[in-house]
Amino acid sequence: MKYKILICALILFSSMKLFAQPSTISNHNNNSQSITNLDGYKWKMKMMLPGQGIKEGLHKLPPGDIETLVWNPAKVPGDVYTDLWKVGAIEDPYFGRNSVKAQWVMQYEWWYSVQFKVNQDLSDKVARLDFESIDHECDIWLNGHFIGSHKGSFSSFSFDVNEAILTNKHWLKATNMLVIRLAPPPQVNANVAGLKTPWFGDYWRDLIPFGITGSVDLVFTGKSRILDVYAKPVVKNDKNASVIFEIEVDNTEKIAKEKNITISFQGKNFTSKEQTISFKEVIKPGKQIIKKEVKVENPQLWWPWDLGKPNLYEAKVSLDEGKINQDFKKLTYGLRKVEMAWNPGFTKDEVSFPRTTLINGKPIFIRSACWGGPPDIFVGRTSEEKYRKLIALAKEANMNNIRIFGWHPPEIPLFYQLCNEQGITVWQDIIPLGTGNIPNEPELLERIYQEGENVIKNRRNNPSIIMMEGGEEMLLRASDAEYANNFLKTLGDRYQGMVDLPYVPDSPLTCDVSKEAGYKPKEAVHALGYFYQMGRWLMEDWYKSLDFPIVPELAITSVPNVENLQKFIPENEIWPPGPSWGHHWADLDRLRIQNFDAFGDEKTGSLQEFVDATQDAQGIIFQLSIEHFRRNKPKTSGIALCHFITYWPDMKWGMIDNYLKPKRSFNYVKTAYQPVLVNFNFEKRRWLNSEKFKGEFWVVNDYYKEYKNCNVSYSIVDDNKNVLKEATFKVAKIEENSAKQYFELEADVLKKVQNNFYVTMELTDENGTILSSNEYMFLIGNQKEASEKFKVMGEKIRERNGIYSYGNYYKFFDILTGENGEEYESEKDIIKPRGFE
């Protein structure tokens, strides 16, 4: 009886599995694509000298060979360094200065292999290997047959493998061996601009990532197959919308055949009636695109979370011949319309592009941060859980946008899925071109264009993507303005041929080369001057001078939490800061005087004091700058902080460290990004006891909702929590999507304050519900004297930077440079940096 039950179960399982297979009778609603995923820990890896692997015959290993069992374990998706670290071949590259010790890895080629079985009959099917991404250059063999090569870190690619694959009902004869050779990574970024993420920049050291970074799938279809489906939304208004399904099909036979195409769709995260359409199409041999527009009944638009619901649709597309299934695709998309409008207050002599984003006809203020990702530069260390937590934190910080900027790669599908679901928009630099080193050779330029088109093609169904950018900081470094600008314009034309989204070239567009290329004086600005020119202006003097339509980057640095510092800094270098701090990009000079600006003190008394101060200083500068730009809406339409996260344990830009721990600055940003924000505009942070304290109360409202009969309550307190003044004033009406001053403050309350004083405020609606709260710290001190002292500190930094190259952390440590007669003997010594004696 048990055997009969087992046989029946196997027959049932077999029939369920075959039901959706190509060349079987299919049912559209219950269909699925036939895929064997090859991801996971099934893989093995082996090191070889460049060129030696083929000489030894690794590419011709027999399918059933067991030699690879003794190769090192590996994981796909992943990277070479993480695989080697896990097997003990290298020390953790994130710890101390170990990344320098691992530089030998990028001088070798690395061979990856995986074995899998195929049991089904392929006589009327096509088998295809799909590669999501491999960084950067590879050659691929299946069962000793060379099936192809690829270069490019972000583009997906595929190979048909019917002639090479083995299939049999006998398990041994059904065994297949897939072998991939990863070439040593390129050593000069100029040779692979746009095709590989720049591995330089002031948040990483010279260790070039590479590996099989995306999924590998074995896909089975009929002789005709669906290569891609683009659900292009056409939104006229919230009552009238349709979808143009652009279906790319491929007929691998030599004759044209009539096929049935069925499209169905319905709400994915909301309830709606399923709509279905079926039609016949004669498919000629080769590839072609079939377009079908379908009007959506009772359309539910996709909105950012602060403007509405992020409604998503799920579509299914079947390709049949008669009743015989050929292929099937399932995709998620959203209905939304993206437009750009000119920012009021700037003339077209000042700006070249409209920079206000409209979603479904409504202007939005972009509250963003540069992603700073992927979550790990070595992608084998990241996880789905990391992505989910980080996107949740972005929403918790009241961000309605994430900027993927051009020093980091386009993100993985899960990232966009989470942004789609959470209603977080994405400002996407399509491929990383954070360099001016663009090649002159037409074939290399064409390859860059194709890489970008591939990136867009694989991501264009995501409604979260609302803006395309190209050429991050390229003009900033370009020697030929006209050539670089022509490249960027062509890039945009190619991008917009793939998807109907706004495109702007380059960022920041305010450098001398940008002006030479014809851009205007008030284009998008990178607000990095405070950090890179530290000591020229106190924070409030600096941010108040910025008046631009949009700010793609605003950067300031801080140090991770003490408990996480201990995870990547050797014990003898924790405090005072040792060379590993510098290796992880801690600019000890700038951090000290940044603390002085924020607190009137460098805060070097203890590790905890210093760390907390750097995070609070970062938060204060972020908060005050954000509020300045938000008060300037609609003239200013968005700001992106730099960065949200960090892709290794550094001491640089991120407000969330590599261990997913929000810094103290996170809460300042969360406050400043409240959609309804009560805030205080003031002239300076340092006040004399003899002065009257002055400022303005503002309310910024990013919601499309007005509030009536509100109250603003505030209090001024000193260090001892003594209340110096408190009051409440009424706000009759807060208009939707507005920024307005409501009340001026002048208070003679500072006579007895010794060090600091604080202003707290709260906005409540007519029912007493808190809409927004905020807080500020001020100093008792002489603003002019502090400014002069800050400038002297800055001059000392510039003097030392004139001797040492940027990023050379030896300048902080006399013992490493031999200055003052000190000699370096051992990294085990406690090495005190300047300013921390």
Domains and CATH numbers, the chain: 31-220 (2.60.120.260), 224-333 (2.60.40.10), 338-673 (3.20.20.80), 678-783 (2.60.40.10)
Mapped onto helix, strand or coil, the DSSP state of residue 281 is strand
Asked whether 304 and 420 are in contact (CB, 8 A), the reply is no
- Encoding tokens for residue 802? 């004139």
Residue-level pLDDT at 595:
98
Residue-level pLDDT at 307:
97
Identify the bridge partners of residue 393 per DSSP, sorted by sequence position.
Answer: none
Side by side, the strands of the sheet bearing 286-295 are 224-237, 240-251, 286-295
Residue-level pLDDT at 288:
96
Close Cβ partners of 186 (under 8 Å, ≥ 6 residues apart) = 136, 137, 192, 196, 208
* C-alpha–C-alpha distance, residues 341 and 723, integer Å: 46
Close Cβ partners of 477 (under 8 Å, ≥ 6 residues apart) = 435, 436, 437, 513
The CA-based angle 666-671-676, given to 5 degrees, is 145
- Residue 574: is it exposed, middle or buried by C-beta count within 10 angstroms (0-12/13-18/19+)? middle
- Encoding tokens for residue 374? 């992927």
Instruction: Residue 714: name the closest of 780, 775, 670 by CA.
Output: 775
- Encoding tokens for residue 510? 């305010």
Residue-level pLDDT at 823:
66
Asked whether 319 and 33 are in contact (CB, 8 A), the reply is no
What one-character-per-residue DSSP string does 20-43 give?
TSTTSB--GGG---EEEE--EEEE
- If you search the block for the tokens 């103290």, which residue do you land on? 664
- Encoding tokens for residue 176? 């297949």
Residue-level pLDDT at 822:
66
* C-alpha–C-alpha distance, residues 74 and 80, integer Å: 8
Mapped onto helix, strand or coil, the DSSP state of residue 310 is strand
Residue-level pLDDT at 668:
98
Q: Where are the beta strands (DSSP E) in 569-654?
A: 638-642
Instruction: Residue 627: name the closest of 551, 563, 715 by CA.
Output: 551
Close Cβ partners of 788 (under 8 Å, ≥ 6 residues apart) = none
CA 752 → CA 195, 713, 724, 726, distances in Å?
Answer: 62, 23, 10, 17
- Pick out the chain residues at pLDDT < 70: 1-20, 23, 25-26, 171-172, 820-830
Residue-level pLDDT at 31:
72
Residue-level pLDDT at 121:
87
Residue-level pLDDT at 821:
62
- Encoding tokens for residue 746? 């002048």
